[in-house]
Amino acid sequence: MSVNFTEQTASTYINTIREILLEGLQALGCSITHACDVDGDLLFWDEREDRHYIVQFDEDKDPQFVRLSFWFWSIDDAVEREQAVRCCEAVTGVGKMVKLYVLPHEKEKVCISIELLLPVALDETGLPDSSASRPLLQTSLSRGLLIRYLNQLRTAANEFSRRMRELRPASSQPRWLN
């Protein structure tokens, strides 16, 4: 069932998600660096992992959609790109909830993400009700699930790294990014 968000209800719903995420991530010891673009995506730092993550929202097209991701491997040449694509496909195929892919920027990087569709409660007119949605969102973004999401990202990144090391010469160093 598709939810019909208005511009106002989408904005209110996304702000509720942001508030819950801010509380949850700070409770885990993460530092919110800032809202990093006009969409209000969040950049946060996990001290335990020494890593930056980004939480992306799609307020205009799908307010229920949230992506949690980070970039973690730089690619130096075409051979490494081919190896990285194969490893991304393999890890995505066996991982839980994770997608790994190569981002084609001027300096290519491997990105890993978990994408979520969050619940929304509707009022009697069929419009999204943010206050009624809050308990559902708090459950979907609970401490235990946030920990699990971060663990799934870390496990998949470690598996990618292991597979890449198997394909690379022993003399080359991995290029983890922060």
Confidence of residue 176 (pLDDT cuts 50, 70, 90): low
pLDDT tens digits along 83-123: 999 999 999 999 899 999 998 876 889 999 999 999 999 99
Instruction: Identify whether the C-beta of residue 39 lies closer than 8 Å to the C-beta of residue 55.
Output: no
User: Would you tell me how many other CB atoms lie within 10 Å of the CB of residue 157?
Assistant: 22
Contact 164, 87 (CB under 8 A): yes
Q: Which of 140, 121, 139, 124 is nearest to 12 (CA)?
A: 121
* DSSP secondary structure of 79-94: HHHHHHHHHHHHHHHH
- pLDDT tens string 122-152: 999 988 998 999 999 999 999 999 999 999 9
pLDDT band at residue 167 using 50, 70 and 90 as cut-offs: confident
pLDDT of residue 154 exceeding 70: yes
Q: Tell me: the pLDDT tens digits for 10-59?
A: 999 999 999 999 999 999 888 877 666 666 788 888 777 788 889 999 88
Tell me the percentage of the chain whose pLDDT exceeds 90.
Answer: 60
Q: Could you please report the per-residue DSSP string of 112-156?
A: EEEEEE----B-TTSSB-HHHHHHHHHHHT-HHHHHHHHHHHHHH
Q: What is the DSSP letter of 38?
A: T
The pTM for the full model equals: 0.86
Residue 173, token pair as written in the block: 């160093």
The pLDDT score that the predictor gives to residue 172 is 56
Residue among 77, 87, 78, 92 nearest 165 (CA): 87
pLDDT at residue 36, as a whole number: 60
pLDDT band of residue 178 (cuts 50, 70, 90) is low
Distance CA 44, CA 1 (A): 32
Cβ-Cβ contacts under 8 Å for 36 (sequence gap 6 or more): 42, 43, 54
pLDDT reported for residue 171: 45
Return the C-alpha torsion angle 85, 91, 92, 96, nearest 10. Answer: -160
pLDDT score for 3? 87
- Whether the CB-CB separation of 150 and 50 falls below 8 Å is answered with no
Spell out the residues 6+ positions from residue 172 whose beta carbon is closer than 8 angstroms to its own. none
Look at strands 65-74 and 109-117 and give their pairing.
antiparallel
